[in-house]
Amino acid sequence: MRYIVIGVFVAIVVSLFSALYFVYQDRGGSTRALKALALRVGLSVGLFAFLMLGYYFGWFPERL
Assigned domain for 53 exists: yes
Q: How far is residue 45's CA from residue 50's CA, in Å, rounded to a whole number? A: 9
Count of domains observed in the chain: 1
- Largest separation between any pair of C-alpha atoms in the chain: 48
Per-residue pLDDT band for 64 (boundaries 50, 70, 90) equals: low
What digits encode the pLDDT tens for the residues 29-41? 788 899 999 999 9
Q: Dump pLDDT digits (tens) for 3-12.
A: 999 999 999 9
What is the model's pTM?
0.83
Give 64's contacts (C-beta < 8 A, 6+ positions apart): 1, 2, 5
Report the distance separating Cα 48 and Cα 33, nearest Å: 23
- Do the domain assignments include residue 63? no
Q: Which domain holds residue 7?
A: 2-57
User: In this structure, are residues 15 and 40 in contact, taking their beta carbons and an 8 Å threshold?
Assistant: yes
Does residue 64 fall inside a structural domain?
A: no
